[in-house]
A and B are shown apart, each in its own frame.
Chain A
Amino acid sequence: MATVTYLEAIRQALWDEMEQDERVFMLGQDIGTYGGAFRVTAGFLDKFGPERIVDTPISESAMIGCAIGASMMGLLPVVEMQFIDFISCGFNQIINFAAPSHYRWGQQVPIVVRGPAGGNVHGSAYHSQNPESYFHHTPGLKIVAPGTVADAYGLLRAAIHDPNPVLYFEHKYLYRRLKDELATGSDGVVVPIGQARLAREGRDLSVITYGAMLQVALEAAGRLEGDGIDLEVLDLRTLKPLDQEAILATARKTSRVIVLTEEQTTGSVAGEVAARISQDAFEWLDGPVHRLCCPDTPVPYSPTLEEAYLPNVDKLVAKVRELASY
C-alpha cells in the first residue's frame, strides 16, 4: 500500500472508476489539458481522452443538467465544481431536476457533483463555502463529506455507483495536508454511504463532526486526555441520509454532545443533528446539545478574521470543558 494524500485518494478513486467502468465520465471546467484547478484530474485527458474528460463552458447549471440527462441514458457522470461555492449556480438542476426525479416519475439520476469545499485557506467568501445545508433540506439527494484518506477514496467510489444524485464535498484544507496508506484498484475499499464511523471511542463526551473538523476533534481529544476528559468522536461521513443510529448511540453513551461543523450555525446540518438528539435521546442527556459552528457571517478573508470565524482546537477544548462541567 502506498501513502497518498487526501487529494491523491480522490484522484485515485476517479481513476480506478474510469478504468474499471466505461460508463463513468467527467464534466468540468479546466479538467482536461489543465488537469483541474487543484490538479485532481491531472493526466486524465491523456489516459481517457476528450470524450470522457469533457471540458465545459462556465455553465454550472448546464453542466449539471447535462450530467442529469446523460445519467438517465445509463452513464455515470461525475461533475466537478471548480470550487464547491459555484454549486449554487446549478442549484435548480440539483434540487428540482435531479433530487425529486425518482419520487416524481421513477427515474434514477445517478450523478455525482463534487468539488473543493471549506475554508482555512484564505479563499474568502466565494472560495471557502460549506453549502451542505442548502441541499440537506432536499429529499432525494445524498451528501457525503469525507474526513480521511480512506473515506475520500471509498465514498467517492460508492457515490459513483449510487443510483441517486450524490453531492461529494471534499475539503480543500485536507487536500495535501492529510496523508495515509491506501489500497487502490481492485484492492480498493468502497465505503458504504449512510454509515458514520466511530473515529475515537471515549466515555465522557461526544463530538459529532465531519470533514476537516474531524482532525480538530481528534487533536482536541488528545489534548483533553491530560485533563482526564475522554472524548468520543463520531465522524458522520455521510450527511444525508444521516446515520441516526450511530448519532443516538453516542449521545446515549456519553450523555453530553457537541456537534462540531464548519457551517454557519443557523439552519445547519449540525442543527439537525442536535434536534434529533434532543428529540430522541432527551432522557439520556446531562446537558444541552451544543452546536460549535461558524458564526452567521460570510467567510472572511484576512487570516485574523478567518481564525476568529472558524472553529478550532482551542475553541473546541473550551466548549468541552464548559459542557463537561455543566
Chain B
Amino acid sequence: MKTTGKSWGPLHPKTDETQPAERLAKTGLPRERQLELYHFMKLTRMLEGRLGNLYRQGKVVGGLYSSLGQEATAVGSAFALEAQDMMGPLIRNLGSMLVRGVQPREVMMQYMAKSDSPTGGKDGNTHFGDLKRGLVAPISMLGAVIPVMAGVALAGKMQGKNLVALTYIGDGGTSTGDFHEGLNLAAVLNVPFVLIAENNGWAYSTPVAKQMRIKNIAARAAGYGIPGEIVDGNDVLAVYEVTKRAVERARAGAGPTLIEAKTFRMKGHAEHDDAGYVPKEQFEEWKPKDPLERFERHLLGNGLAGEEDLKAIVAKIDAQLNEEVDFALASPMPPPERAFEGVYA
C-alpha cells in the first residue's frame, strides 16, 4: 500500500487562519480546469440546498440524501475520467453525476417523482442512469454495483473501447459480500476498474469501528493483489490526482486500484436523520476541513481566482438553479397507467 506521496502531508491538516493559502495537493490542472472543479463542487452544494428547501416544502415525496462535506471526493474523482469512461455513482455522488453532465432539473424531478424525471417517476433520488453519459444506475443494496462495473470494464476491454469503469463504496458497504466478490473478480480478470471507498466515518448510525477492525480500508487492497491508496477526501486536487493515476494505470492494462478517501459525512444518513448519535466533537473537528472552503482558500490564496470570480460563479449557479426549480416544479406527476408499463424491454 502506498499513499499519495509528497502531495499527501498530514491527514487532517490544521487550518491556519493567518495563512489563507491552503496547501492542497500539487496538480497539473490549469486555472480554468480548477475553476470548473469549483463550479461543480459549489453546484453540488447549492443544488443540495435547493433540494433541502423542496424537501421542507413537502415537494420531495421520498427521502433526501446529502453529500455535504464529501463534494470533493465525488467531483475530484469524476473529473479524472475521460468521455468514454463509465461510472456507477452511489447516493453521495451527486457531484460525480453533475460532472458527467446530469442537469439539476433531472435530480429535482427525480426527488419530486415528476413525469419528466429521467425515470418518469418510476424511481427516485439519484437512482437513474444514462449510458450515453457513462452513468450506470445504482441499486440500494450496497456493493452490488462493484461486480456490475467490473463487468462494464470487462466488456470495454473485450470491445477494445479503451475505457475505465469507476464506482464508489462507503465504509459500511465494504462489509458486503459483493465488495469482496466484485473486487476480487475485477482483480483476477485484470479489468480497467477503479473503486473509491469513501470512508466518511458513519454507515447510517454505525461507526467504522463496528464495521471493521482495520484502520484503513485501503489495506484491503493487498488481499486482492492490487494497489491501495489513501487520499484526503476533502482535498479535491488530491482526489483528482490520485484518481487520475489509478485511471491511467487501469487504461494502460495494469488492472484495478482501490482508493480510500478519508472524509466525513456532515449530515445524517438522510434528511430525516439528525445524526444525534455522532459526537459533536467530530463535526467540530471536520468543520474547518470543509472541502469547498479549503478549495476557496486555495484558489484565493494562490492567486488563481479573486473574490469577484468566485462570486460570479455562485451568481451564475444561483440563476441557473432558479430556472431549474421552476422547470422541475412545472412538470406534472406521471399518469397512473405508467405504473404498468415497461417491465420488459
Contact of A140 among B127, B177, B185, B343 (CB under 8 A): B343
Q: List 19 A-B contacts (CB under 8 A).
A: A56-B188, A57-B185, A59-B184, A61-B144, A62-B146, A62-B150, A64-B147, A66-B182, A69-B155, A70-B154, A72-B155, A73-B131, A73-B152, A73-B155, A96-B139, A96-B144, A103-B343, A104-B122, A140-B344
Decide if B189 touches A54 in the complex (CB within 8 Å): yes
Report the stretch among A105-113, A180-188, A257-265 that lies at the interface. A105-113
Query: Chain B residues with Cβ under 8 A from A25's Cβ?
Result: 158
Give chain A's interface residues, CB within 8 Å of chain B. Answer: 25, 51-52, 54, 56-57, 59, 61-75, 77, 92-93, 96-97, 101-108, 110, 139-140, 142, 163-164
Question: Do residues B146 and A65 form an inter-chain contact, with CB atoms below 8 A?
Answer: yes
- The CA of A67 and the CA of B149, in the complex, are separated in Å by 10
- Is B129 an interface residue when CB atoms closer than 8 A count as contact? yes
Closest Cβ–Cβ distance, residue A28 to chain B (whole Å): 13
In the complex where A59-B185, A61-B177, A70-B155 touch, is A102 in contact with B119 (Cβ < 8 A)? Answer: no
Task: Indicate whether A139 sits within 8 Å of B343 (C-beta atoms), given known contacts A59-B185, A63-B185, A75-B159.
Answer: yes
138-165 of chain B: CB within 8 A of chain A: 139-141, 144, 146-156, 158-159, 165
B342 interface hit (Cβ, 8 Å): yes
A96 / chain B contacts, CB cutoff of 8 Å = 139-141, 144
> Closest Cβ of chain A: how far from B305's Cβ, in Å?
37
* Given known A59-B185, A104-B123, contact A164–B345 (CB-CB < 8 A): yes
Q: Are B131 and A66 in contact, CB atoms less than 8 angstroms apart? A: no
**CA separation between A74 and B128, bound complex, in Å?**
19
> Is B118's CB within 8 Å of the partner chain A?
yes
With both beta carbons as reference points, the residue of chain B lying nearest to A109 in the complex is identified as B345
Find chain A residues with CB under 8 A from B345 CB.
102, 108, 110, 163-164
Q: Which residues of B contact A107 (CB under 8 A)?
A: 129, 131, 136-137
B189 touches A74 (CB 8 A): no
Decide if B178 is an interface residue (CB 8 Å cutoff): yes
B136 touches A69 (CB 8 A): yes
Total contacting residues, chain B, CB less than 8 A: 41
A21→B247 CA distance, assembly (Å): 31
Total A-B contacts with CB atoms under 8 angstroms apart: 142
CB of A105 within 8 A of CB of B159, answer no
Q: Is the CB of B342 within 8 A of A103?
A: yes
**B131 nearest CB neighbor, chain A only:** A72
A62 & B184 in contact (Cβ 8 Å cutoff): yes
Given contacts A62-B182, A140-B344, 17 further A-B contacts (CB under 8 A): A52-B158, A56-B185, A56-B189, A61-B178, A62-B185, A63-B147, A63-B185, A66-B151, A66-B154, A68-B148, A69-B154, A72-B136, A77-B151, A104-B128, A105-B127, A106-B342, A110-B345
In the complex, the 8 A-B pairs of residues with the closest C-beta atoms, listed nearest first: A69-B151, A65-B147, A73-B155, A62-B181, A66-B151, A163-B345, A59-B181, A62-B147
Question: Which chain A residue shows the least CB distance to B128?
Answer: A105
Complex-state Cα separation, A59 to B183, whole angstroms: 11
- A140: which B residues are within 8 A, CB to CB? 343-344
CA–CA, A309 and B144, complex, Å? 37
Contact B188 A65 (CB under 8 A): no
Which residues from A are CB-within-8-Å of B155? 69-70, 72-75
A109 smallest CB distance to B (angstroms):
8
Complex CA distance for A70 and B155, rounded to whole angstroms: 5
A105 near B118 with CB under 8 A, answer yes
Q: Closest CB of chain A to B160's CB: distance in Å? A: 11
Q: Using a CB-CB cutoff of 8 Å, which residues 167-210 of chain B contact chain A?
A: 177-178, 181-182, 184-185, 188-189
